[in-house]
A and B are shown apart, each in its own frame.
Chain A
Amino acid sequence: MIIRYLLRRLFLLSFVFVAATCFTFSLNYFYPGDLLTNFSGIQQIDDAQRQTLAASMGLEQSVVQQYILYVQRLVAGNWGLSFATQQPVIGEVQTVLPATLELAAYALLVSLVIGIPLGLLAAIKHESWFERTVSTLSSIGYSLPVFWWALLLIMLFSLHWGLLPTSGRLSVLYEIPQVTGFMLLDILLAPVPYQTEALRDAIRHLALPTLILATYPTTVMIRFVRDSMLEVLAQNYVKTARAKGLSRSQVLYHHGLRNALLPVTHQVGLQFSTLITLAMMTEVIFSWPGIGQWLISSIYQRNFTAIQAGVLVISSVVVAVNMFTEILHTLLNPLARKDA
């Protein structure tokens, strides 16, 4: 049963992948300029090269054949050269993607760590001053435009108090070789004498962007957890458990929490695409060298190969995360498991 469910999800995933690649493949025909250049990213193609390239891309064959070759190239990791740097795009993605994932992961973590307890507390202390404060704050946080909020915090924390740096992942004087692409991990792996110092510096660089990126998902999480908990507490089985003599905390822990938190896994997946969009803005404001900033500057430079790669990678990551949380949700939730 569960195997069939997973296969069905996998099939859906591959369908999304086909749709995305069809889209990026057709972009090559819509972009202005030479088709070969759009596909390969090579700016100056001489005649000999032109022939071998055209043959390897099957340009004389049907469009379907070309598409198959295109997908084969994608799978083989041959994503063409960046128009701007003439370096393989896949290498650039490997440097920028971890930066975004790192930022998004910490923001998500913060939103879970802060959002879930606050939401639960707000539900338990229903209609108290505490709930009202939390609700008001989360409404404000929910409606703050991210770029304005970011500038406000930069002004206070960086320019006014001088506590935190305004941009980047690490002070440029520290030289940390890229191994995993995740800054904190890379610092721990780097054989440098200034490890602790660099670590502190990296965390200070992370603080503001994480805080800003976490604002929106935290408020969503608070509201969602609160509502879900309130709903669970109103259920008959909770009332029954109380009536049978279980203490309030026992009911909350054994019956309330698990049922209230189940939909949260699902919610994380749904929030992820918003998170990535917000991450792009945060990256631009903080000059964070992630995939969002990279994609936006590629659009600006009409760097077609990079745009394709960026679109494919971001959509794949979003879909994959969605799929993963959905599967997780199904595995954790007996009701959903039964439906599957």
Chain B
Amino acid sequence: MKNWLLGATSIALAGLLAGCNPPELSSTTVDGIVYCAEGSPEVFNPQLVTSGTTIDAISQHLYDRLIDIDPASGRLVPSLASQWTVSDDGLTYRFTLRNSVAFHHTSYFKPSRFLNATDVEFTFNRVLDKSNPFHFVATEYPYFASVGWQSLVAKVTAVDPEHVEFVLNQPDSSFLSTLATDFSAILSAEYAQQLQQQKQEPKLDELPVGTGPFKFREYQKDVLIRYYQHEDYWRKAVKPQQLVIDIVPDNTKRLAKLLTHECDVAPIPRMAELSMLSHSTDFHIDEQTAMNVGYWAFNTQKPPFNDSRVRRALAHAINRQNILQAVYFGQAVAAQSVLPPNSWAYNDKVQAPAYDPETAKELLAAAGYPKGFSMDIWAMPVQRNYNPNAQKMAELIQADLAQVGIRARIISYEWNTFRRKLKDFEHDSVLIGWSADNADPDNFFRPLFSCAAAQSGSNRANWCDPTFDQFISNAVLTTQMEQRRSFYLAAQQYLIEQMPLLPIAHSKRFLVHGQNIEGIETNPYGGINFARAEKRP
């Protein structure tokens, strides 16, 4: 019943909304910002999740990190750590902590002291140290597992109350970026101790205590999360008295609530709805190129895709401009490299192959396929930001390929089966994508192209090239920014020549808010920050 009811609601509402430009509902005198989110968080500790919904709902509001990423420049800036030093061998990182950083004072925890090094030590030892009483309270730490935290970090120690030291097993220049992600939120050791005495360990992840701009007040699953202002926040005073995250999973309902100003801010992923809102003077649409890429990967171990000329021919045969219009409705940038243009390692000299069926035919002939061949295109069955409609994209590609004599078949499975079969490399080619977890360019290279990733299955092109592996492992071993950059520039150049996959688009992320809301900060690498948000009467 719910299905058809929701379907009918959505269709009807979408139709009805189109003609309306409603007046505002009278606002309340209670000060606060309402953010309408698309789902409930799984837990209240970012260490345990990677889902974007959860991170958006908890991370920036409740917690701080040792270091932050400056959204404008993408550089690392001090946060809870006022400064840090790296030893010459690149193995020891020493952080100096800020003074007088207060933890949340809530109904379930009254902090007796400010933040010190034991809190940082506890936070990371919980993930690292199996003997930590909280380690097995959670079953997994997915982000930390994906960056190989267990083998990377040897130990974390509080040297004195103000200093904390990380010792690595091997140099890794992406380490600081890992600490700057939303997942590396700093918890309170004192709170953990209190829970341990009360034998209430799981509460650590359910009733959060952090140092962030807002403190936890209440949570009703699938209804709302209520945060209060943290009065003693160490940065500038927090403006809203309350931050309420209203959970509205249905896109159309969220739009309706935005129109009636029941929501102040909401993410709107659907393009058709955005174009409707853009006609209204009442709303402001924040758009941001997200750190992601949608791509078409070829199974480079299967003939004829083991020939780079064939892969380049396929790339030339595709009209990507057409795809950007029809699939992304113009709300994405054409990808030239796998790295989005806002990355500091982006190679602006690299150009993805232009649409040119003649060159494609020549390349195919040179590779020994003058009459073309048959192939499969696997289209992922779900919608993601980086690819809102893989099926449609596959159809467009199918038509383009027919022009150069290639007969393509479109294949799709249920999402879990799809990923399992991909992991076994049963595909010829696949339309899928990647969203970055942090600002470090390494996050686009090692998981997608390394030989190790080909073994673990996240390398969808099944591509293992020692020359390329050399580039990217050299890049993480050096701490010299310029040197790293040059390795990544070369790596991008090499990728375009070899073409294990064709990058298609970097999509944008949209956040809509009323014109009367000011001071919202969004970050391409993670959540939204409401600490400075203000509602004009």
Contacts and interface: CB of A to CB of B under 8 A. Distances in A.
Nearest to A205: B262
A160 B16 CA distance: 9
A284 B2 contact: yes
Given A151-B13, A155-B20, A165 B260 contact: yes
B28 to A, nearest CB: 6
A154 B24 CA distance: 14
Contacts of B402: none
A162 B23 contact: yes
A171 B259 contact: no
Contacts of B218: 175
Given A158-B260, A166-B257, A284 B22 contact: no
A287 B218 CA distance: 19
A287 B247 CA distance: 10
Contact of A172 (B9, B34, B253): B34
A270 interface: no
A197 B28 contact: yes
Contact of A151 (B16, B23, B34, B262): B16
Interface residues of B, number: 38
Contacts of A289: 220, 223
Contacts of A201: 28
Given A162-B22, A173-B28, A167 B262 contact: yes
A281 B5 contact: yes
Interface string B293-328: 000000000000000000000000000000000000
B28 A174 contact: yes
Given A172-B244, A299-B2, A158 B29 contact: no
B6 interface: yes
A227 B13 CA distance: 38
A155 B16 contact: yes
Given A85-B221, A166-B253, A173-B32, A300 B5 contact: no
B25 A165 contact: yes
B157 to A, nearest CB: 34
A147 B13 CA distance: 11
Contact of B22 (A161, A172, A194, A281): A161
A238 interface: no
Interface in A297-313: 297, 299-300
A148 interface: yes
A16 to B, nearest CB: 24
Contact of A84 (B221, B242, B248): B221
Contact of A171 (B6, B9, B24, B28): B28
Given A147-B5, A172-B246, A284-B2, A159 B22 contact: yes
Interface in A280-297: 281, 284-285, 287, 289, 296-297
Contact of A166 (B24, B244, B260): B260
Contact of B1 (A154, A164, A175, A296): A296
A116 B17 CA distance: 37
Contacts of B224: 172
B8 interface: yes
A284 B260 contact: no
Contacts of A287: 248, 253
A162 B248 contact: no
B30 interface: yes
A171 B242 CA distance: 13
Given A165-B25, A299-B2, A159 B12 contact: no
Interface in B247-279: 248, 253, 256-257, 259-260, 262
Contacts of B13: 151, 154-155
B22 A173 contact: no
B262 A171 contact: yes
Contacts of A163: 25
Contacts of B262: 165-168, 171
B222 interface: yes
A173 B20 contact: no
Interface string A163-191: 11111100111110000000000000000
Most buried by A among B9, B226, B248: B9
Contacts of B2: 284, 296-297, 299-300
Nearest to A299: B2
A201 to B, nearest CB: 7
Contact of B20 (A84, A148, A160): A160
A318 to B, nearest CB: 18
Contacts of A85: 221
B30 A174 contact: yes
Contacts of A172: 34, 224, 226, 244, 246
A147 B30 contact: no
A284 B29 contact: no
Contact of A162 (B25, B217, B223, B242): B25
A297 B3 CA distance: 10
A196 to B, nearest CB: 11
Contacts of B248: 167, 287
Interface string A270-286: 00000000000100110
B136 to A, nearest CB: 13
Contacts of A300: 2
B29 A194 contact: yes
Interface string B29-58: 110101000000000000000000000000
B256 A154 contact: yes
B207 to A, nearest CB: 14
B121 to A, nearest CB: 30
Contact of B6 (A148, A158, A168, A284): A284
Contacts of B34: 172-173
Interface string A127-166: 0000000000000000000011001001100111111111
A159 B24 CA distance: 9
Given A161-B22, A175-B226, A284 B12 contact: no
B29 A285 contact: no
A285 B2 CA distance: 10
A159 B30 contact: no
A298 to B, nearest CB: 10
A173 B242 contact: yes
A172 B265 CA distance: 14
Contact of B9 (A147, A158, A164, A299): A147
Contacts of B24: 162
A78 B30 CA distance: 39
A151 B22 contact: no
A159 B17 contact: yes
A42 to B, nearest CB: 14
A289 B247 CA distance: 12
Contacts of A160: 20, 22
Interface of A: 84-85, 147-148, 151, 154-155, 158-168, 171-175, 194, 197, 201, 281, 284-285, 287, 289, 296-297, 299-300
26 contacts: A84-B221, A147-B8, A154-B16, A158-B22, A159-B256, A161-B23, A162-B22, A162-B260, A164-B25, A165-B262, A166-B256, A166-B260, A166-B262, A167-B253, A168-B262, A171-B262, A172-B34, A173-B32, A173-B244, A174-B28, A175-B242, A197-B29, A197-B30, A281-B5, A285-B5, A296-B1
Report the 8 A-B pairs with minimum CB-CB distance, sorted nearest first. Answer: A162-B23, A155-B16, A162-B22, A173-B30, A159-B20, A172-B244, A173-B32, A151-B12
Given A162-B24, A173-B242, 15 more contacts: A151-B13, A155-B16, A159-B259, A160-B22, A161-B22, A161-B23, A165-B262, A166-B253, A167-B253, A167-B257, A172-B246, A173-B244, A197-B29, A284-B2, A299-B2
